[in-house]
């Protein structure tokens, strides 16, 4: 599907393309190509002479492959944007081509930041004046989207922290579920951090290679400052994740140590009766108690006492808690 955007009365005006002739209309500032069909790919190739293949997630991440300028002066960029999913976030690669005073974006799936840019453009005047403004606006919204994603990760970690640090922490099974929960947030945090790094590289390239007006340069600097602050927040979240992991594993070790302690105490308490049984199990001829009628109940009573006394002592010391 191809979407055309024009600037009308200071706003982005959105039109869906149903015919190739619409691509040649004047005053187009942005062409958004999403999940193109073969026919739509042909339209774009014939009209703008650009590579219309959507970028692959496994594409080369070297700077030379992600940002470069063609012989005809058109600027080619490859950048990543966040997409939300039911179980988290993932990255969608997008190709941008700045050519003939128009921005062309090519990707396989619709992006939340594009929908958000359209909504905001309807309410604000004069926010996008040219294709570079649109491109910078997309990156600014992606940074905002990343900030929202970090807030959701922190909320999940807070809930996990409340569960882990509660007085009644549950079983080892509950602890294992908490580890899975925290590990998932760690993966999402890493995804967001990678996305922010990619955005920083692209914006730095624009400032360095494109002689942008002062206002656009200042807007990019502000976005870079926002990215810097979010980087610190991702580092804080990583530290919190490490703390929670250590705490959960520590609680698991404590539970296991309790079990080992109980077995150790039981083994020590059973040593005296085992010793008594061993003594009276000897096959010596002269053992006075063996010939007495009270010998058997005496040995049983002695073994019971030898078990009760150690357990009473251990309980008084608090070793059974």
What's the confidence (pLDDT) of residue 19?
A: 65
Packed helices 214-269 and 271-280: angle between N→C axes, nearest 10 degrees: 30
Composition of the chain by helix, strand, coil, percent to 5: 60, 15, 20
Packed helices 295-317 and 214-269: angle between N→C axes, nearest 10 degrees: 150
What's the confidence (pLDDT) of residue 25?
A: 61
Q: Are 28 and 166 within one domain?
A: yes
What's the confidence (pLDDT) of residue 113?
A: 84
Which sign, positive or negative, has the C-alpha torsion 124, 227, 4, 27? positive
Q: Are 138 and 274 within one domain?
A: no
Q: Are 204 and 246 within one domain?
A: yes
Q: How far apart are CA 205 and CA 79, in angstroms?
A: 12
Q: Are 87 and 142 within one domain?
A: yes
What's the confidence (pLDDT) of residue 123?
A: 61
Specify if 259 maps to a domain: no
Specify if 263 maps to a domain: no
What's the confidence (pLDDT) of residue 166?
A: 67
Q: Are 225 and 128 within one domain?
A: yes
Specify if 178 maps to a domain: yes
Specify if 264 maps to a domain: no
pLDDT digit string, tens, across residues 221-233: 999 999 999 888 8
Q: How far apart are CA 170 and CA 10, in angstroms?
A: 58
What's the confidence (pLDDT) of residue 58?
A: 41
Q: Are 184 and 292 within one domain?
A: no
| Helix, strand or coil, per DSSP, at residue 146 | helix
Q: Which residues contact 217 (CB under 8 A, 6 or more apart)?
A: 207
pTM of the model: 0.73
Please give the distance of CA 188 from its chain centroid, rounded to a whole number.
Answer: 1
Which sign, positive or negative, has the C-alpha torsion 310, 311, 316, 321? positive
Please spell the DSSP secondary structure of 98-111, one letter per residue: EETTEEEEEESS--
Domain that holds residue 309: 270-317
Domain count, the chain: 2
Q: Are 124 and 230 within one domain?
A: yes
Q: Residue 271 gets which letter from DSSP?
A: H
| Helix, strand or coil, per DSSP, at residue 318 | coil
What's the confidence (pLDDT) of residue 24?
A: 63
What's the confidence (pLDDT) of residue 167?
A: 55
pLDDT digit string, tens, across residues 103-135: 888 888 888 888 787 777 666 655 556 788 888
Q: How far apart are CA 23 and CA 18, in angstroms?
A: 10
- The tokens for 236 are 């804080």
Please spell the DSSP secondary structure of 10-78, one letter per residue: TEEEEEE--SGGGGG-SSEEEEEEES--HHHHHHHHHHH----PPPPTTS--SHHHHEEE-TTS-EEEE
Specify if 262 maps to a domain: no
With contact defined as beta carbons under 8 Å apart, do 74 and 98 qualify?
Answer: yes
| Helix, strand or coil, per DSSP, at residue 85 | strand
Residue stretches of the chain with pLDDT short of 70: 9-11, 16-26, 52-65, 121-129, 166-172, 210-211, 320-321
């Amino acid at each position: 599907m191809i979407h055309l955007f024009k600037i009308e009365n200071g706003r982005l005006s959105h039109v869906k393309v149903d015919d190739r002739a619409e691509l040649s209309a004047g005053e187009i500032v942005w062409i958004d190509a999403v999940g193109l069909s073969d026919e739509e790919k042909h339209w774009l190739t014939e009209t703008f002479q650009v590579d219309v293949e959507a970028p692959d997630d496994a594409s080369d991440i070297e700077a030379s492959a992600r940002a470069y300028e063609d012989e005809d002066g058109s600027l080619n960029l490859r950048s990543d944007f966040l997409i939300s999913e039911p179980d988290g976030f993932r990255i969608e690669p997008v190709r941008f081509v700045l050519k003939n005073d128009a921005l062309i974006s090519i990707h396989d799936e619709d992006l939340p930041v594009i929908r958000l840019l359209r909504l905001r453009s309807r309410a604000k005047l004069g926010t996008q004046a040219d294709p570079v403004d649109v491109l910078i606006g997309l990156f600014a919204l992606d940074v905002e989207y990343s900030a929202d994603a970090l807030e959701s990760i922190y909320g999940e970690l807070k809930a996990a922290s409340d569960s882990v640090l509660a007085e009644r922490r549950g079983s080892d099974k509950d602890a294992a579920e908490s580890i899975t929960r925290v590990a998932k947030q760690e993966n999402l945090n890493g995804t967001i951090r990678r996305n922010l790094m990619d955005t920083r590289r692209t914006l730095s390239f624009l400032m360095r290679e494109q002689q942008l007006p002062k206002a656009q340069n200042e807007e990019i600097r502000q976005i870079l400052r926002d990215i810097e602050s979010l980087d610190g927040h991702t580092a804080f979240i990583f530290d919190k994740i490490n703390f929670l992991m250590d705490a959960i594993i520590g609680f698991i070790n404590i539970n296991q140590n309790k079990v080992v302690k109980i077995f150790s105490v039981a083994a020590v308490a059973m040593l005296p009766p085992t010793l008594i049984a061993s003594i009276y199990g000897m096959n010596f001829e002269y053992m006075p108690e063996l010939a007495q009628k009270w010998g058997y109940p005496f040995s049983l009573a002695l073994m019971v006492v030898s078990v009760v006394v150690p357990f009473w002592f251990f309980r008084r010391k608090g070793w059974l808690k």
